[in-house]
Amino acid sequence: MAEHAVVIAGGGPAGMMLAAELALANVDVLVVEQRPDHVLVGSRAGGIHSRTIEVLDQRGVADRFLAEGQAVQAAMFGTTVLDMSDFPTRHPYSLGIWQNKIERIMADWIAELPVRISYGCEVTGFTQDDTGVEVELSDGPPLRAQYLVGCDGGRSTVRKTAGIEFPGWDATKSNLIAEVEVTEEPPQGIRTDAIGVHGLHRMEDGRTVRVVVTERRLGPSTDPTLGDLSEALVAVYGTDFGIHSPIWISRFTDMTRQASAYRSGRVLLAGDAAHVHYPAGGQGLSLGVQDAVNLGWKLAQVVKGTSPESLLDTYRDERHPVAARALRYTMASGLLQRGDERTRALVDVVSELASMDEPRRRLAGIISGLDIRYDLGEGHPLLGRRMPDLDLATADGPLRVFTLLHEAEPVFLNLGEGGGVDVTPWAGRVRMIDAEYVGPWELPIIGAVPAPGAVLIRPDGYVAWVGDGTDTGVGDALATWFGAP
Ligand SMILES: Cc1cc2nc3c(=O)[nH]c(=O)nc-3n(C[C@H](O)[C@H](O)[C@H](O)COP(=O)(O)OP(=O)(O)OC[C@H]3O[C@@H](n4cnc5c(N)ncnc54)[C@H](O)[C@@H]3O)c2cc1C
């Protein structure tokens, strides 16, 4: 039976990101993807938010996405745009880029890494024991893996087979989304009415139109047809614009659910397999990519035996609350997209409030993911928060902090006089850098924070320890996150 350290079910954004993280950590990984290749039919998600751009920047690949997208102020709550151009980050914006482009760029990236992908094959089930997981496939003999990760989307076979509950809220409304050709030129842009929010956009090919239309009644779970789309368009616009030749038609709803556990033994979940919600605010893809970046280095260390299996529990502890919060805000945001008079009155009030500085920053911090703080205890405001991408001066010349994270390794950054902290026992695992930084220390939402003497940065870019000139607690932090010395 073929064996791999990790098998990932699903090669969407979460699965590909996780595969990259494991490959960077030299872990043998196989992705099993049911599609015949990486091509995603239809545009689907419209972009990624600031923290996700940063995460890609931490791996040195953000430029590939920036080159094919458009920087926009698109962090939204309800129908209110939350300008975040004053946030202290190199990427104080969202990136408008269709999901099929995102997936193509990711697929090209992981093709450069030692990632194996088995296309046209489905994970149909699994059984697990104390030493591994036997993964059943639609095509061919089963595989053996130390760990199986379900990145197989909202209807996750892995989640269901693991018996992990998916509590939440049933759908109350549905939208049709499609790319079609038309015989009449439709009005471009967003329209809000008593039914909900609708949008018509001519695609880059100049031929097709992307249609998103709210249905008058919650649609069935069957695949929508051109007839359904026509009916929904006529209800809103009085015409269907002569739609024909659909590239794809799909239906999404405001069903909101989150897996009660992110791990069952040797089986884990990430991305939409762990949480689904209405796309208001456009956070789903970003959440999945960040799940993968949180999980990847932890799983790599457990597979290599550097860390105990309990490190994997921190994945759920850290990422479950982030998604739970996104689900709450998305439900609220989705409600604000209704167009009846009473909701419009509420939207006006919320818009007025959200345009004020503090609420704007707070909401933009949530949507962008820049405000995430993992609970690593009390201490300096940097603890548990993302490390800013500072311009450092080192003996080898200028260096950006994010450049230090390209290999997905932990970094001990000494910004003080040198000496003091002895991290030699972890020298093979943690990269040590002496550097100077003279600029301001500023965090999104929080503002200015005191300059630390040293920081321990995890491979996902979050700060695991902050030094005040002494080495108090550094040994514990190193052992907690990167194994016993
Ligand atoms: C209209 C719309 C707009 C959106 N807009 C945004 C946005 O602007 N920003 C944003 O962040 N998110 C947005 N989203 C959400 C986003 O599309 C998803 O959250 C994202 O695709 C989730 O990524 P994933 O990798 O977890 O799952 P998926 O993208 O669903 O990928 C799962 C993969 O697993 C494969 N698979 C499934 N089952 C199996 C199996 N048993 N075996 C093997 N392979 C399997 C599938 O073929 C697929 O490739 C939007 C969604 C919709 C519908």
pLDDT tens profile 307-361: 999 999 999 999 999 999 999 999 999 988 887 889 989 999 999 999 899 999 9
- Pocket probe for ligand 1: among 44, 81, 104, 329, the residue whose CB has the most ligand atoms within 8 Å is 44
Q: How far is the CA of 399 from the centre of ligand 1 (A)?
A: 35
User: What's the pLDDT at 366?
Assistant: 95
Distant-in-sequence, close-in-space partners of 297: CB < 8 Å, separation ≥ 6? 21, 25, 408, 410, 458, 459, 460
Q: How far is the CA of 329 from the centre of ligand 1 (A)?
A: 19
As a whole number, the mean pLDDT across the chain is 95
Q: How far is the CA of 308 from the centre of ligand 1 (A)?
A: 31
Q: How far is the CA of 153 from the centre of ligand 1 (A)?
A: 5
- Residues 238-249 pLDDT 10s: 999 999 999 999
Q: How far is the CA of 12 from the centre of ligand 1 (A)?
A: 6
Q: Of 477, 296, 462, which Cα lies nearest the Cα of 369?
A: 462
User: What's the pLDDT at 192?
Assistant: 87
- Residues 429-471 pLDDT 10s: 999 999 999 999 999 999 999 999 999 999 999 999 999 888 8
Q: How far is the CA of 279 from the centre of ligand 1 (A)?
A: 11
- Residues 53-66 pLDDT 10s: 999 999 999 999 99
User: What's the pLDDT at 352?
Assistant: 93
User: What backbone torsions phi and psi does residue 338 show, to the nearest 5 degrees?
Assistant: -80, 150
Q: How far is the CA of 290 from the centre of ligand 1 (A)?
A: 14
Assigned token pair, 90? 């190199």
Q: How far is the CA of 10 from the centre of ligand 1 (A)?
A: 9
Q: What's the chain look like in SS3? A: CCEEEEEEECCCHHHHHHHHHHHHCCCCEEEEECCCCCCCCCCCCCEECHHHHHHHHHCCCHHHHHCCCEEECCCEECCEECCCCCCCCCCCCEEECCHHHHHHHHHHHHHCCCEEEEECCCEEEEEECCCCEEEEECCCCCEEEEEEEECCCCCCHHHHHHCCCCCEECCCCEEEEEEEECCCCCCCEEEECCCCEEEEEECCCCCCEEEEEECCCCCCCCCCCHHHHHHHHHHHHCCCCCCEEEEEEEEEECCEEECCCCEECCEEECHHHCEECCCCCCCHHHHHHHHHHHHHHHHHHHHHCCCCCCHHHHHHHHHHHHHHHHHHHHHHHHHCCCCCHHHHHHHHHHHHHHCCHHHHHHHHHHHHCCCCECCCCCCCCCECEECCCCEEEECCEEEEHHHHCCCCCCEEEECCCCCCCCCHHHCCCCEEEECECCCCCEECCCEECCCCCEEEECCCCEEEEEECCCCCCHHHHHHHHHCCC
pLDDT at residue 419 is higher than 60: no
**pTM of the predicted structure, to 2 decimals:** 0.96
Q: Of 312, 308, 262, 307, which Cα lies nearest the Cα of 287?
A: 262
**For residue 349, what are the CA distances in angstroms to 77, 198, 339, 343?**
12, 22, 14, 10
User: What's the pLDDT at 281?
Assistant: 86
pLDDT at residue 72 is higher than 90: yes
Q: Between these two residues, 197 and 420, which has the higher pLDDT value?
A: 197
Q: How far is the CA of 13 from the centre of ligand 1 (A)?
A: 7
Q: How far is the CA of 276 from the centre of ligand 1 (A)?
A: 10
- Residues 103-133 pLDDT 10s: 999 999 999 999 999 999 999 999 999 999 9
User: What backbone torsions phi and psi does residue 350 show, to the nearest 5 degrees?
Assistant: -65, -40
pLDDT at residue 417 is higher than 80: no
Task: From the CA of 47, give the closest atom in ligand 1.
Answer: 8
- Pocket probe for ligand 1: among 7, 35, 65, 99, the residue whose CB has the most ligand atoms within 8 Å is 99
Q: Whose CA is nearest to atom 14 of ligand 1?
A: 45
Q: How far is the CA of 157 from the centre of ligand 1 (A)?
A: 14
What is the average per-residue pLDDT within 370-374?
Answer: 98
User: What's the pLDDT at 428?
Assistant: 86
Q: Whose CA is nearest to atom 51 of ligand 1?
A: 45
Task: From the CA of 177, give the closest atom in ligand 1.
Answer: 1
Q: Whose CA is nearest to atom 1 of ligand 1?
A: 44
pLDDT at residue 251 is higher than 60: yes
pLDDT at residue 420 is higher than 70: no
Q: Are residues 444 and 89 in contact, defined by beta-carbon separation less than 8 angstroms?
A: yes
What is the average per-residue pLDDT within 293-297?
Answer: 98
User: What's the pLDDT at 427?
Assistant: 84
Task: From the CA of 274, give the closest atom in ligand 1.
Answer: 26
When pLDDT is cut at 50, 70 and 90, the band that residue 144 belongs to is: very high
What is the average per-residue pLDDT within 175-200?
Answer: 94
Task: From the CA of 286, give the closest atom in ligand 1.
Answer: 11
Task: From the CA of 252, give the closest atom in ligand 1.
Answer: 53
- Pocket probe for ligand 1: among 124, 152, 166, 327, the residue whose CB has the most ligand atoms within 8 Å is 152
Ligand 1 pocket at CB < 6 A: 9-15, 32-35, 44-48, 99, 122-123, 151-153, 157, 177, 252, 271-272, 279, 282-286, 288
